[in-house]
């Protein structure tokens, strides 16, 4: 292909600081001239020694994915990459991209996704950089990228026809090779090496055990089809909303009881299947639902850890577990029984990478429906579903029975997250500033009969490289071990989202059946007293409760 290299003059654009997981903005923002180009050039300018090396490229298929992929291919060629592995149609789920980076020993990868945020022309778009271990770039790199966006003067690109991404195969842009790869195969093969596909397949084909996987018209459709239906033999109807659409069918591809309404309806019907699951826009999250029973993500991590020895890939035991700070301590109790370490990290998968690389943790999880292991360096929705299916295939008990016996053994960490979405940014920032200012005087105070024992703003020192991350969320701990965490989302694109995380431990099995919001009622009232959410935001209740 004849190509001409070009250097285009540009100017810094404000606000290009990556958040919890890359840069996320409205599609219309990304469509502005130079917006995507500036950020991509800032990524390349923060990297060294990639000349002639391999870049992995793919996205969740949302609106603008196809346009952005072509732009990035041109820029990668002009910047001197030797080869780009790109998913067919420009699509790779986030865990699949991580898998491909590792398997092909790429220099790094660019993933186009705004994950659980809505898509379409009026929706959100996002981009993030992953390093050679397959995981999200650590803060040191994301901050360097941001610094580059503030001083950028030019970007490099090439002029030429679009690469045909519809068919797998090899082509080139100037000196750079482009390989359009099967987006599913590498990932599916990796998963097949970890789980007992024979046993899971026998269960799914038995006729006495039905599943429903809701791909929410997002990226996991083809992965679920290949793995659950083709390789494991589940009946065709087992995957719903399996066709990826650029606007996710108008839905919100966030697998929680609010947005995965359709799955919840199926799983609570009289004729409900035995097991239900859903994944998000880019395939890294998972929601696990039993018959008439929703599993909270924090509990799911704990159950996987407690049952890992039943799964071939983890039968030799876990090196440790890690969870994000706001995630419940249910996994900690399992780790303690197993005699392994449990690490508490800030929110966002980028903080697990070092622990996984150093062999300090095997399983990781977040309360936001993310679970994963050292098989890749991202959370992995389909992996979590297979892990559950493997446990069910061995134990032959219902999801609910597994949870109930888990609580009996370890006690129950009642847990809920209350999200206030689209709050005025100034109001949200003042709420957090005031909370931070009150930290010193909170301990010792008794509110509604509950005594505050500790209050701080979570800071994390990475045990591997010593890097420090501060201001990761306000924690208020009570004398009975309950806690409330307040933090602002780093993935939203409209106003601010205030997240309030509530947790209370209940060792008494006779009280495990209480409804969660009721069990946390006292804490919910305390959160209001401490932070004054209603008065400040004018919201009578949260937008989403998970
Ligand atoms: C949210 C979740 C966090 C997760 C992040 C990316 O971040 O709380 O646990 O790692 O999304 O997930 P925040 O800053 O909005 O709370 V994904 O599936 O959107 O890549
Ligand atoms: Co996601």
Q: List pLDDT tens digits, range 325-343.
A: 999 999 999 999 999 999 9
Contact (CB, 8 A) for 331 and 301: yes
Residue minimizing CA distance to atom 4 of ligand 1: 348
The rounded Å distance from CA 327 to ligand 1 centre is 12
pLDDT of 448 reads 85
Res 359 pLDDT > 70? yes
pLDDT for 32 equals 96
What are the CA-CA distances from residue 533 to residues 102, 422, 504, 524, 546 (Å)? 44, 13, 20, 11, 18
Closest CA to 206 of 232, 227, 170: 232
Which residue's CA lies nearest to atom 6 of ligand 1?
Answer: 21
Please check whether residue 322 is in contact with residue 348, taking contact to mean a CB–CB distance below 8 angstroms.
Answer: no
List pLDDT tens digits, range 105-123.
Answer: 999 999 999 999 999 999 9
The model's pTM: 0.94
Contact 146, 17 (CB under 8 A): yes
Catalytic status, residue 115: yes
Query: What are the b/e assignments for 395-408, b being 16+ CB within 10 Å?
Result: eeebbeebbbebbe
Question: Cα angle vertex 329, ends 326, 330, to 5°?
Answer: 125
pLDDT in tens, 448-506: 888 899 999 999 999 999 999 999 999 999 988 899 999 999 888 888 999 999 999 99
The strand pairing partners of 91, in sequence order, are 59
Per residue in 370-398, pLDDT (tens digit) is 999 999 999 999 999 999 999 999 999 99
| Max Cα-Cα span within the chain | 75
Q: Candidates 24, 298, 348, 417: which one to mutate for ligand 1, based on the most atoms within 8 Å of Cβ?
A: 348
Question: What tokens were used for 259?
Answer: 């947005």
Beta-carbon contacts of residue 360 (< 8 Å; ≥ 6 apart)? 319, 320, 322, 341, 343, 463, 464
Q: Is the CB of 124 under 6 A from ligand 1?
A: no
Q: Pick the catalytic residue: 21, 113, 115, 489?
A: 115
Give the position, in ligand 1's atom list, of the atom nearest the Cα of 349.
10
Judge residue 12's burial from the number of C-beta atoms within 10 Å of its C-beta, 0-12 exposed, 13-18 middle, 19 or more buried: middle
Report residue 2's pLDDT band, with 50, 70 and 90 as the boundaries: low
Question: Which strands form 83-91's sheet, in the order they lie side by side?
Answer: 23-26, 124-130, 108-112, 54-59, 83-91, 176-181, 169-173
Give the H or E element holding residue 85.
strand 83-91
Which is the closest atom of ligand 1 to the Cα of 113? Answer: 20
What is the 451 CA–ligand 2 centroid distance (Å)? 37
Reduced to 3 states, what is the DSSP secondary structure of residue 190? Answer: helix
Give the pLDDT score at 44.
98
Alpha-carbon 119 to chain mean position: 16
Q: Is the CB of 348 under 6 A from ligand 1?
A: yes
pLDDT, position 534: 92
What's the gap in Å between 347 CA and the centre of ligand 1? 7
pLDDT at 160: 86
pLDDT of residue 3: 66
Ligand 1 binding pocket includes 462 (Cβ within 6 Å):
no
Percentage, residues of the chain above pLDDT 90: 92
């Amino acid at each position: 292909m004849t190509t001409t290299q070009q250097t285009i003059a540009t100017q810094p654009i404000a606000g290009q600081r990556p958040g919890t997981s890359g840069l996320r903005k409205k599609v219309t923002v990304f469509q502005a001239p130079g917006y995507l180009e500036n950020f991509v050039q800032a990524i390349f300018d923060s990297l060294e020694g990639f000349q002639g090396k391999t870049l992995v490229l793919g996205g969740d298929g949302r609106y603008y994915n196809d346009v952005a992929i072509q732009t990035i291919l041109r820029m990668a060629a002009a910047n001197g990459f030797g080869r780009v592995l790109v998913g067919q149609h420009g699509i790779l789920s986030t865990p699949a991209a991580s898998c491909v980076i590792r398997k092909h020993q790429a220099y790094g990868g660019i993933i186009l996704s705004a994950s659980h945020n809505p898509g379409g022309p009026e929706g959100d778009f996002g981009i993030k950089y992953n390093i050679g271990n397959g995981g999200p770039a650590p803060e040191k790199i994301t901050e360097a990228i941001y610094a580059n966006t503030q001083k950028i003067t030019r970007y490099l690109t090439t002029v030429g026809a679009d690469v045909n991404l519809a068919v797998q195969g090899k082509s080139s842009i100037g000196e750079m090779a482009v390989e359009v790869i099967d987006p599913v195969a590498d990932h599916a093969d990796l998963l097949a090496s970890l789980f007992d596909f024979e046993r899971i397949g026998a269960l799914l084909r038995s006729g006495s055990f039905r599943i429903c996987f809701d791909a929410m018209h997002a990226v996991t459709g083809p992965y679920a089809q290949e793995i659950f239906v083709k390789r494991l033999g589940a009946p065709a109807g087992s995957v719903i909303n399996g066709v990826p659409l650029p606007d996710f069918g108008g839905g919100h591809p966030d697998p929680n009881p609010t947005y995965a309404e359709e799955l919840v309806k199926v799983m609570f019907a009289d004729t409900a299947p035995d097991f239900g699951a859903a994944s998000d826009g880019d395939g890294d999250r998972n929601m696990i639902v039993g018959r008439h029973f929703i599993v909270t993500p924090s509990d799911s991590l704990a159950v996987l850890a407690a049952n890992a020895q039943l799964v071939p890939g983890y039968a030799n035991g876990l090196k440790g577990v890690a969870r994000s700070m706001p995630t419940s301590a249910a996994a900690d109790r399992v780790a303690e029984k197993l005699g392994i370490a449990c690490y508490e990290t800030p929110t966002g998968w980028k903080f697990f990478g070092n622990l996984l690389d150093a062999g300090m943790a095997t399983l990781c999880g977040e309360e936001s429906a993310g679970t994963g292991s050292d098989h890749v360096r991202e959370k992995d929705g389909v992996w979590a579903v297979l892990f559950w299916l493997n446990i069910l295939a061995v134990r032959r008990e219902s999801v609910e029975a597994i949870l109930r016996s888990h609580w009996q053994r370890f006690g129950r960490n009642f847990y809920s997250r209350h999200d206030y979405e689209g709050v005025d940014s100034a109001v949200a920032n003042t709420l957090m500033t005031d909370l931070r200012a009150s930290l010193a005087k909170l301990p010792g105070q008794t509110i509604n009969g509950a005594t505050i024992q500790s209050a701080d703003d979570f800071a994390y020192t990475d045990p591997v490289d010593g890097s420090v991350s501060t201001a990761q969320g306000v924690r208020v701990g009570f004398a009975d071990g309950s806690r409330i965490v307040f933090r602002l989302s780093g993935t939203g694109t409209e106003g601010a989202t205030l997240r309030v995380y509530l947790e209370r431990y209940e060792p008494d099995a006779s009280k495990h059946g209480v409804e969660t919001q009721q069990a946390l009622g006292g804490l919910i009232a305390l959160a209001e007293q401490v932070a004054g959410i209603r008065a400040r935001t004018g919201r009578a209740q949260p937008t989403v409760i998970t």
